Structure 1
Amino acid sequence: MSNPTERHQYILNQIQQKGNVNVLDLCSELEVSSVTIRKDLKLLEDKNFLFRTHGGATQSNPYATDRPVNEKEKLQSAEKLKIGAAAAKLIQPDDSILIASGTTVLSLARSIQPIGNLIVITSALNVALELINHQNIEVLQLGGILRKSSSSVIGPYAERILADFFCSKFFLGIDGIDLEFGLTTTSAMEAHLNRQMMAVSQKTIVIADSTKFGKRGFGKICGMDEIDEIITDNGLAPHLVEQLEAMGVKVTLV
C-alpha cells in the first residue's frame, strides 16, 4: 500500500480498534519500510491523531501526570476495589508483605482480612492508617521524605530500613505500564525505592487498572521481565494479555 492517504487511514483504523500499533506489524501489513511507517506516525502525531511511543504509537496520551492522591482515588474506583480484593486473597496466614504507595494498593489494604498474624511494611501513610486498627497486623511504617501527592515516603532513610528485612510478596502500584519500556512512576525517587522493595521480596505483584497500560511516567521502576504477576481489570485488551503471558508474567483479570 504505497498511497500515503490509504496508509494513514489504515493506521488510524488500527489504532482506533486496538488502542495502539506496532511499527514492525505495520511494515508487514502495509509492505513498506520502517522508515516510511515512522514518517507516517510523525505526520499523524503532528496532526494530533496519535502519540508516538517506542516502537509504535498509541491513541491515548502515554505520559503519566502526577496528581494528588485524593484526586486519583476517584478514578476507576470500582475497578480498583475488585483488583484490591483479588490481591488480598494472595496473602497467606502469618505472611510478611511489602506494600508500596498508590490508590490501588489502598484498596488492597482495605480488603485485607488476615488469617493469623500478618507483618506489613509500607511506604504509604494511608495504607498504614488503614491497617493500624487490625489487632493481628503488625505495621512497619518506613520513614523519610514525605511525598505529598502520594501520601508516602521516599528517600535513603526508607531504603536503609529495607535492608534489614525480607518479605514473601511485594504489592506494587504504578503510574504506567509500557510492555517495551517497563513499569514507571511519576517520581524518580519513588521508582528507586520501589526497586529496593523488589530486591527484598520473593515475589513482585503489580496491581493496576487497565488505563495504566500504554502510559509512561518519568521514573522507571523495572522491566517487564522482573515482575511475577499483574492483577488488573477485564478492560485490558486480549492481545496485551497474550504478550504479557508470553513474557512469563501471570495475568489475573477481575
Structure 2
Amino acid sequence: MINIAERHQFILSKIQKEGHLTVLDLCKELDVSSVTIRKDLKLLEEKNLLFRTHGGATLTDTYTVDRNVNEKEKLQSAEKSRIGVMAAKLIQPNDSIIIASGTTVLAFSKHIQPVETLTVITSAINVAQELLRHPEVEVLLLGGLLRKSSSSVMGPYAEQILADFFCSKLYLGVDGIDLNFGITTTNVMEAHLNRQMIAVSHKIIVLADSTKFGKRGFGRICGVEDIDEIITDNGISPHVKQQLEAMSIKVTIV
C-alpha cells in the first residue's frame, strides 16, 4: 500500500492532467476507502493545491459570480474573438438564428458577415446594436426586464415572444460548464430564458472560452447532453474534450 505522500503526489498529478477528480475513481485507483480520500483532499485544499467539490475535487474554484459586461469583455478577449470568427462560419444563407447574451456571443456578432438575408432574435442589447450596421440582417430584440450587468433582457415577456418562433441555431454564451452539473449562468431568470431559447432551436451551439470549464453558476440552464456543439479555445483539457465527444457533442477548438 502506498503512503500518504505518494497518494498526494498521485492525486496532484492526476488533477493537473484532468482538471477534475472524483472520490469514487480515486478509491478504485488507489485501493483505499472514501474516508481516506476525503481526508487527503481536505489536506490538499488546506494547502491551496486544489478545491474540493461534492464528490470530488477540481483544480480551480468552481463557483462563478456575476460580473459587469464591460469587465467581462476584457477577459480572454483574443480567445473570444477567435471563437466568434469560427461561429460566424456556421451561418447559412437566409438563416434564422437566436443569439443569447454574453461577451463571447457579442464577439461572435462582430464577425457576422451575411451574404444574404439573416434573421436574428436576441435578448442582448449590445448584440442588436452591433448588427445595426448590416442592412441584410433583420433583428428581433426581445423585450422584458433589463439586466444591466449583461446589457440584456429577461423574464416572462421575452419567453412568451420566443414561443412564436423556431430557429435553426442558438448561439449560447454561458458562465459555467460542468460535466456533472450542466450548463449554467449566474442569473436564474436568464437561465429560464435560455431554456426557452433551447426549446425553439434546432441546434444548440455553446460559445465559451476554456476558463468556463469546471465552473458552476447560480442558475442551471440545461444538462451538457442537451447541447450539440461547443466552440472553445485550445486551453480546454484533452480529458474534458474526450468526455464531451463521448457524449456525442462536437467540440471545435480555435
TM-score (norm. length: structure 2): 0.96
DSSP 3-state at the match of 1:49: coil
- Tell me the equivalent position of 1:247: 247
Once the two structures are TM-superposed, the CA of residue 248 in structure 1 deviates from its matched residue by 1.1
Whole-Å separation in 1 of the counterparts to 2:39 and 2:223: 28
The alignment yields a C-alpha RMSD, in angstroms, of: 1.3
- Tell me the equivalent position of 2:233: 233
Number of residue-to-residue matches in the alignment: 254
Whole-Å separation in 2 of the counterparts to 1:127 and 1:189: 19
- Which stretch has the larger CA shift, 113-122 or 17-26? 17-26
- Tell me the equivalent position of 2:96: 96
DSSP 3-state at the match of 1:90: coil
Once the two structures are TM-superposed, the CA of residue 244 in structure 1 deviates from its matched residue by 0.2
- Tell me the equivalent position of 2:35: 35
Whole-Å separation in 1 of the counterparts to 2:230 and 2:132: 27
Whole-Å separation in 2 of the counterparts to 1:207 and 1:17: 23
- Tell me the equivalent position of 2:86: 86
Q: Given residue 128 of structure 1, which amino acid in structure 2 is its aligned partner?
A: A
DSSP 3-state at the match of 2:61: coil
DSSP 3-state at the match of 1:220: strand
Once the two structures are TM-superposed, the CA of residue 121 in structure 1 deviates from its matched residue by 0.3
Whole-Å separation in 2 of the counterparts to 1:231 and 1:41: 32
Once the two structures are TM-superposed, the CA of residue 53 in structure 1 deviates from its matched residue by 2.2
- Tell me the equivalent position of 1:107: 107
- Tell me the equivalent position of 2:223: 223
Q: Is the 8 A contact 2:98 2:170 kept in 1?
A: yes
DSSP 3-state at the match of 2:243: helix
- Which stretch has the larger CA shift, 12-21 or 112-121? 12-21
Once the two structures are TM-superposed, the CA of residue 42 in structure 1 deviates from its matched residue by 2.9
Deviations 1:175-203 (A, max 9, x none): 00001111000001101100000000011
- Tell me the equivalent position of 2:129: 129
- Tell me the equivalent position of 1:72: 72
- Tell me the equivalent position of 1:21: 21
- Tell me the equivalent position of 1:5: 5
Whole-Å separation in 2 of the counterparts to 1:101 and 1:197: 11
Whole-Å separation in 2 of the counterparts to 1:207 and 1:53: 25
Deviations 1:112-168 (A, max 9, x none): 011210000000000000001210100000011111111011111100110111100
What residue ranges of structure 2 are gaps of 5+ in the alignment? none
Q: Is the 8 A contact 2:94 2:117 kept in 1?
A: yes
Percentage identity across paired residues of the two chains:
72
Question: What is the correspondence of 1:143-162 to structure 2 with a 5 Å cutoff?
Answer: 143-162=143-162
TM-score (norm. length: structure 1): 0.96
Whole-Å separation in 2 of the counterparts to 1:42 and 1:199: 41
Q: Given residue 205 of structure 2, which amino acid in structure 1 is its aligned partner?
A: I
DSSP 3-state at the match of 2:169: strand
Q: Is the 8 A contact 2:18 2:240 kept in 1?
A: no
Segments of 4+ moved more than 6 angstroms: none
- Tell me the equivalent position of 1:45: 45
